[in-house]
Structure 1
Amino acid sequence: MSLREGDPEEIGGYPLEARLGSGGMGTVFLARTASGRPVAIKLIHRQFADDEEFRIRFRQEIAAARRVSGAFTAAVIDADPEAAHPWMATTYIEGDTLAQRIAKEGPIGGAELRALSIGLTEALRDIHRVGVVHRDLKPSNVVLSPEGPRVIDFGISRAADQQTLTMTGRVIGTPPFMSPEQLQAPRGVGPRSDVFSLGTLLVYAATGQGPFDADSPYMTAYQVVHEPPSLGSVPAALRAVVEPCLAKDAKDRPSADELLVRLRDLPTDLGGAAAAGGARCTRETDTQHHLAGPDTPPPSTSAPPDAAPGAPAHPVPSPTDLSPDRRSEAADEHTRRRPRRLRQVLAAAVAVVAIGGGVALMNSDVSGEAGGGPGGPGKGGEGGRNVAATGAPLPDGFKPWRKTVPGGRPDIPDELRCEARGDALFCGGGGVVATRIRASDGSRVWTEKSPGVPVQGMHLVGVTDDTVLGYRFAAEDAPGDPQTEVVAVDADKGTELWSTPSGAQSTAVTGRTQDAVVLGSTVVTVDASNARFEARRAHTGKVLWRRPFPVGEQCAPVPAGKRLYAMCAREAELSAGAVRHPVLHVTDLASGSLGQAIPLKGPVQPVGTADDSLVLLHQRHDGPAMLGYDQVVRVDRASHGVTYARLPKVYEGTPGMAGGTVFLSGRTGLVTAFDPATGRKKWARQTAVEGASGPVQGDDKALYFSSASGRVAVLSPHKGEPLLSTGPRADGVAGETNAEPRVVVAGRLVVVAAAENTVFAFDVTKPPKSG
């Protein structure tokens, strides 16, 4: 929607491009930052500028939104609540709201419903962890972006640890999605009120109607407070999770963290609404009913075909003409005015996998390039028969197993990483320097524990033929010990061979936590003062060379096949938190000498090799916030020339590389594959593996992804066709971003490291059927 006469040309220094919509609170405009990033600017209506209560509420909205910075919320970029005409700029999120999605296409089911449930719950967790209660969670405040759902509009949020304004004791919210306490005692609303709203939201997503729908808002409010929810059309597996969220007493509802643990067990084939005749608005009726903002002129005065005689016509703007705020209000208004259909009670049989998760087929093809639907190329039978049994045989006497490895700190939710050497499995990370496990049965041979608090992302350093190398962190009551050490352990005996203090600068330089690397029989570390590289024989600890960093720079080791690079950044840029001009040096592994500097346009993050050339991803930042990745960068092995290839857009997720392809795994299970030479998207696949890391390529070239919950997804390399998906095996939903791969594949043997030091193994031709 173009700007109108009287609209400002800029707000707060941001040039305006278009009017996105207008509501009762203000007008929303599309603008751009100096770097070209689109933002949505909410300009408060003039009549509220002199209303002190309103200004206080607006300040609270800004403060609440700024405190929330999760992956599933919209970030505040700038604001001026004290301006004569107050305004706030937030991330512009592309996509329909949940209300629009249901109005257009009807209820959501399957993997999409599962991903939505987990994404919204993670958003609530992030909101509640910073002491904020949203208080108006409803379909119009959820935007379905390509990267997952986003919760927007903190207009009536408040910090849980602050006193509410006197006037905000009034009932504020949207009745079909409000909690009983919001209607009865709004001053006492807490985080579990949002959990109630989330429950109503998930019922709405799964069935197209809320659990307390009635013919008037008064009847709806009465049912919210006094009547049981209507859940007959909700898929059984989801109903078991949602029903406790709708308890009348807030104390009986789970917290967002508790709800996440329950949601991880939802099966991939969640199904859709159990009642075939539930409320559903088709695309045809949507084009006739879709509402615009109150100030949008109607293009037609004709009444919709199913309207009652004499019913007023509704304007029909394009959804893209509205901001998320106004598109949301429009779709919500459409939902409210839509004639309520009689609920139909059908004896419908619903096939649901029992909670605990079984082997499930993934059949949601995001890009349309792969045919993974039922009966298509991606269809695989129970037991993973589409995953070839090639390569190394299983260890003698192998039976599937699941073990927990005790660490030095039982209060830390450790995450191990493992490597396989025949029947020996070596793992390390968190409170474990290293452990040796028999791959045949999971029994532990030895364990070297770490007493201190681990650094996130620092796992196993590496394994040679006779040595295992890991990290040890000093105990809090041992201030004289080195804070972080690289420790070498004899692979057979489990005895410590040597240790050396280690620095911790790699994350700032490369975006990955990797301060020590193993190449052949050599281990290269960063010294404790972050001033030089040191190379040692892995088994004996004999120092081979020491090489100071270039003056005024900090460096981190970057392995590329059998070669070593040093990536360095200026200390001034590191101090400012913005590495814009990193350089690479080819490093001689025999002497440590640094080759000629190869300048890069940063910030960049190494992800692997293709055709023996180093591949990196360029990070897109807006100030200190990392938005995602927008380019693939290649450093040629022979010429050291650097090429840049733009990705189709900015992508979020955990990067990885296998088989000469770059992958990004999103928080909600979306895996996207890219050509490292051109940046072209090869395919995208929605999986049930939330927060996945990987991939690891098996002997048959299949790609293995896994999450902190232990879910495993196996995809074909060429089109991402689903071959196998397993259920959860540990109490974890999403691990850290940029996580190292959790899967080890050796022929038919698959070993997975999950949350809380859980390690399990199975035969890929006979995958686990339950958690």
Structure 2
Amino acid sequence: MSLRGGDPEEIGGYPLEARLGSGGMGTVFLGRTASGRPVAIKLIHQQFADDEEFRIRFRQEVAAARRVSGAFTAAVIDADHEAEHPWMATAFIEGHTLAQRIAKHGPIGGAELRTLAIGLTEALRDIHRAGVVHRDLKPSNVVLSPEGPRVIDFGISRATDQQTLTMTGRVIGTPPFMSPEQLQAPRGVGPRSDVFSLGTLLVYAATGQGPFDADSPYMTAYQVVHEAPSLGAVPTVLRSVVEPCLSKDPENRPSADELLVRLRDLPSDLGGPAGAGGGCPTRETDTQHHLSADDTPSPGAPPGPAETDGHPHTGTLIGRHLRRRWRPVLAAAVAVAAIAGGATLMRTGSSDEPGGTGGEGGNVAATGSAALPHRFEPWKKTVLGGRPDIPDELRCLTRGDAVYCGGGGVVAARLRASDGSRVWTEKSPGVPVQGMHLVGATDDTVLGYRFAAEDAPGDPATEVVAIDADKGKELWSVPSGAQSTAVTGRTQDAVVVGSTVVTVDASNTRLEARSAHSGAVAWRQPFPAGTQCSPVPSGARLYAMCAPTTEVSATDVRHPTLHVVDLDSGTLGRSIALKGPAQPVGTDEDGLVLLHRDEKRLVSVGYDGVLRVGRDSHKVTYSRLPKTYAGTPGMADGSVFVSGQTGLVTAFDPATGRKKWSRQTGVEGVSGPVGGDDGTLYFSSASGRVVALPARGGAPLWTTNPRAEGLAGETNASPRLVVAGRVVFVAAAENTVFSFDTTKPPKSG
């Protein structure tokens, strides 16, 4: 992993730490930004620096990667294609490539195969929506990150609105995964060529072999153009979907959008290879011929993907606990949105606890005797004013017969609980900040965030806005700070406690308390010297969580402290030292509960311990978790939960860190949990899928179909649903809000 003699010490101002991979066209190094964020830097080999055709290719690669970077790719951080030695820096994504996964463990089957298929198809769909054709989809260009599959290496991609580079006399690509038209007429390939490659990729994932494998690249290319694919070992249910992708005629192949619809209809468990009892291990030599010379990792490099042209195991610190403005393609969104059919009983759950049982029987609905809203019927509405280019932006809460939703391009909107009809909407003109949704509500006031329009630089960048709950008229507003994520791991610069709203001032120097309705200032409390703080509600109590300013600036909070805040005067209690970095997740009967973040991981959302701060004694206890768990944390019904991006939900005892149970829900990217009055826990995804689990044991009760075309959503997201008696109100992508009776969950989307 170390640098070699002759390797540069820095590239483009980024100090280098290690050589990660090297290929025929470039070498990839591990570098660091000024704030310590790891990046993968691809440096083009010297012999190509004077090749004008290659420089054009590299410039196209950078442009294509920028167009789609974020949700499904390694986001481009910096690049210089005009440098003496061109280079590009991308986010560092942790994970093995699909090629490495198959070589080590053999074919993929069951629910994992379905999840991979849908994740890759969503990735391809969004790449095509960005106007880019990848042209080199292959196993070594797919990284299986903890947050879902990522498609990498746009070295021979092109934008559909650009002229194709001639590449005189050369056919560029990887024959086992190229389309017939790419082999015969490479200048004319379009999005359906990528669909063909995706089909070959899925066959390879399911069987460990490509559908056109032969003894030489030349014979393989011949088979691609002239012969039928070999699909005998592909699981039967997947074969019917993959086969049309491998049509020789591009016009007969489905688009990525059409393919995604077909994949969603597949059962949750695709089984193993056809004719076998499960995935058969594949000999390493069976997969090596799929790898090009550009896929060679450096000796001593850490385990992880060796990307084409040296794109490495690009471990990502997505966000690094720092909030940032959303972009049209979200860097924090994830490329997995596996979807199962109907509100059916899920039998995939398994418990690691003694006596754990999976669900059995027919559909089981959550029970509840609470009354429904007057004349309630299930509904689905779009909250106008949101930004369709920003998924996962809305969050809602309920007060009486009102449903208040805000986030993205909406400060707040009021809907009727009975039918979802709109009462009023207050819009926000600017680009929202990731994770900042609705602030809260009282009986007569709802509070949200407003972001300044990009053409109004004189306006406050972020404001907390109070709106009259009945009339929808603005009551008051105040500029707000925007730094709490670095301190607490959550975006929470304003909170409502009782009838008071507590904010961080615009200069990030103090807490301010106001009457939620009138805006009258109750007190202002400066942060302790040399610290930055964020308000943390805990039931009727308020804490200030603080960290040294130097650690906040370096995005490396190791020594956070807590202070009890006197709600009448704002006076801060004594400092309570915490083992950091720590993230508040909820409150139990004994006090505030936080999760300790594992900063040894290269992903930003791993948790390895649980802390509890006593309600009265303020004594801090710390318990290690059985291992590091990656995902979205939450707390309900006295338990701490971490929801993984693949749908695995794990429950812990906050007092001991002991794992209570673990269940595979099959709903990827879930946030939550939210507890119902009857002990049922609800989790939901950005696509609007909801899964219900009992707090005891976690055996899934039911799950629903998707209700919106959403990504799996941001990791570490706040809950997307709220429960009021028997009714669940769910906020999903595309500014969608819908409701249903939990005793009658919807059976179709």
Q: Same fold (TM over 0.5)?
A: yes
Q: CA offsets per residue over residues 131-170 of structure 1, 9 Å max, x none?
A: 9865443345546566544556778778999999886862
1:617 CA displacement: 3.4
**Structure 2 residue aligned with 1:357, among 326, 341, 351?**
341
Q: Measured at CA, do residues 609 and 360 of structure 1 come closer, stay the same or move farther in structure 2, by a change above 3 Å?
A: same
Paired residues in the alignment total 703
Q: Is the 8 A contact 1:420 1:746 kept in 2?
A: yes
- The one-letter code of the counterpart of 1:752 is V
Is the deviation greater in 171-180 or in 212-221? Answer: 212-221
Q: Is the 8 A contact 2:339 2:706 kept in 1?
A: no
**Structure 2 residue aligned with 1:583, among 553, 561, 574?**
561
Q: Measured at CA, do residues 11 and 763 of structure 1 come closer, stay the same or move farther in structure 2, by a change above 3 Å?
A: same
> Matches of 1:526 and 1:735 in 2, distance apart?
27
> Matches of 1:483 and 1:42 in 2, distance apart?
35
Q: CA offsets per residue over residues 393-451 of structure 1, 9 Å max, x none?
A: 33344332222232366776574322233443332333333333333x32426122214
**Structure 2 residue aligned with 1:463, among 430, 441, 455?**
441
- Given the alignment of the two structures, is residue 538 of structure 1 paired with residue 516 of structure 2, yes or no? yes
| Structure 2 counterpart SS, 1:534 | strand
- The one-letter code of the counterpart of 1:730 is A
1:707 CA displacement: 0.8
Q: Is the 8 A contact 2:345 2:364 kept in 1?
A: no
Equivalence map 1:361-510=2 (5 Å): 361-365=345-349, 369=352, 377-385=357-365, 387=366, 389-390=367-368, 392-407=370-385, 415-439=393-417, 441-444=418-421, 446-455=423-432, 456-474=434-452, 482-491=460-469, 493-496=470-473, 498-505=475-482, 506-510=484-488
> Matches of 1:148 and 1:413 in 2, distance apart?
17
Unaligned runs of 5+ in 2: 11-17, 292-300, 308-337
Q: Is the 8 A contact 1:712 1:725 kept in 2?
A: yes
Q: Measured at CA, do residues 56 and 561 of structure 1 come closer, stay the same or move farther in structure 2, by a change above 3 Å?
A: same
- The one-letter code of the counterpart of 1:117 is A
Map of 2:640 onto structure 1:
662
Q: CA offsets per residue over residues 344-391 of structure 1, 9 Å max, x none?
A: xxxxxxxxxx9993123433357x61699xxx9332555434x3x135
Equivalence map 1:31-430=2 (5 Å): 70=70, 97=98, 101=102, 106=107, 108-109=109-110, 111-121=111-121, 123-124=123-124, 135-139=135-139, 141-142=141-142, 144=144, 148-149=148-149, 170-186=170-186, 193-206=193-206, 210-212=210-212, 217-218=217-218, 220-225=220-225, 242=242, 245-246=245-246, 258=257, 262=261, 265-269=264-268, 271-272=270-271, 276-277=274-275, 282-283=280-281, 286=283, 325=306, 357-365=341-349, 369=352, 377-385=357-365, 387=366, 389-390=367-368, 392-407=370-385, 415-430=393-408
- The one-letter code of the counterpart of 1:178 is M
Q: Measured at CA, do residues 469 and 152 of structure 1 come closer, stay the same or move farther in structure 2, by a change above 3 Å?
A: closer
> Matches of 2:21 and 2:386 in 1, distance apart?
56
| Structure 2 counterpart SS, 1:704 | strand
Q: Report which structure shows greater RCO (CA 8 Å, sep ≥6).
A: 2
**What's the TM-score, normalizing by structure 2?**
0.75
Q: Is the 8 A contact 1:136 1:174 kept in 2?
A: yes
> Matches of 2:613 and 2:96 in 1, distance apart?
38
- The one-letter code of the counterpart of 1:615 is L
> Matches of 1:30 and 1:413 in 2, distance apart?
31
**Structure 1 residue aligned with 2:587, among 605, 609, 626?**
609
- The one-letter code of the counterpart of 1:629 is G
- The one-letter code of the counterpart of 1:137 is L
**Structure 1 residue aligned with 2:730, among 745, 749, 752?**
752
1:223 CA displacement: 4.8
> Matches of 2:591 and 2:277 in 1, distance apart?
56
1:12 CA displacement: 7.4
> Matches of 2:570 and 2:722 in 1, distance apart?
31
- Given the alignment of the two structures, is residue 721 of structure 1 paired with residue 699 of structure 2, yes or no? yes
1:739 CA displacement: 1.8
**Structure 2 residue aligned with 1:671, among 645, 649, 655?**
649
Equivalence map 1:573-722=2 (5 Å): 573-600=551-578, 602-610=580-588, 611-618=590-597, 620=599, 626-637=603-614, 638-647=616-625, 649-722=627-700
Q: Measured at CA, do residues 133 and 627 of structure 1 come closer, stay the same or move farther in structure 2, by a change above 3 Å?
A: farther
1:452 CA displacement: 0.9
1:44 CA displacement: 12
> Matches of 1:539 and 1:490 in 2, distance apart?
7
**What's the TM-score, normalizing by structure 1?**
0.73
1:578 CA displacement: 4.2
Map of 1:511 onto structure 2:
489
Map of 1:558 onto structure 2:
536
Q: CA offsets per residue over residues 198-249 of structure 1, 9 Å max, x none?
A: 2221244346654545677555434534567677886787567656654656
Q: Is the 8 A contact 1:515 1:525 kept in 2?
A: yes
Q: CA offsets per residue over residues 542-563 of structure 1, 9 Å max, x none?
A: 3222223344544321112221
1:464 CA displacement: 2.3
1:753 CA displacement: 1.4
Is the deviation greater in 170-179 or in 224-233? Answer: 224-233
Q: Measured at CA, do residues 70 and 254 of structure 1 come closer, stay the same or move farther in structure 2, by a change above 3 Å?
A: farther
- The one-letter code of the counterpart of 1:177 is F
Q: Is the 8 A contact 2:661 2:697 kept in 1?
A: yes
> Matches of 1:290 and 1:232 in 2, distance apart?
18
| Structure 1 counterpart SS, 2:604 | strand
- The one-letter code of the counterpart of 1:634 is L
Q: Is the 8 A contact 2:236 2:274 kept in 1?
A: no
Q: Measured at CA, do residues 501 and 45 of structure 1 come closer, stay the same or move farther in structure 2, by a change above 3 Å?
A: closer
CA RMSD across the alignment: 5.5
Q: Measured at CA, do residues 653 and 188 of structure 1 come closer, stay the same or move farther in structure 2, by a change above 3 Å?
A: farther
Is the deviation greater in 423-432 or in 201-210? Answer: 201-210
Percent of matched pairs sharing the same residue: 64
> Matches of 1:661 and 1:507 in 2, distance apart?
23
> Matches of 2:735 and 2:39 in 1, distance apart?
41
**Structure 2 residue aligned with 1:733, among 708, 711, 720?**
711
Q: CA offsets per residue over residues 583-607 of structure 1, 9 Å max, x none?
A: 3322111111122333445543322
1:195 CA displacement: 3.6
Q: Measured at CA, do residues 445 and 149 of structure 1 come closer, stay the same or move farther in structure 2, by a change above 3 Å?
A: closer
Q: Is the 8 A contact 1:98 1:139 kept in 2?
A: yes
> Matches of 2:124 and 2:463 in 1, distance apart?
37
1:756 CA displacement: 1.9
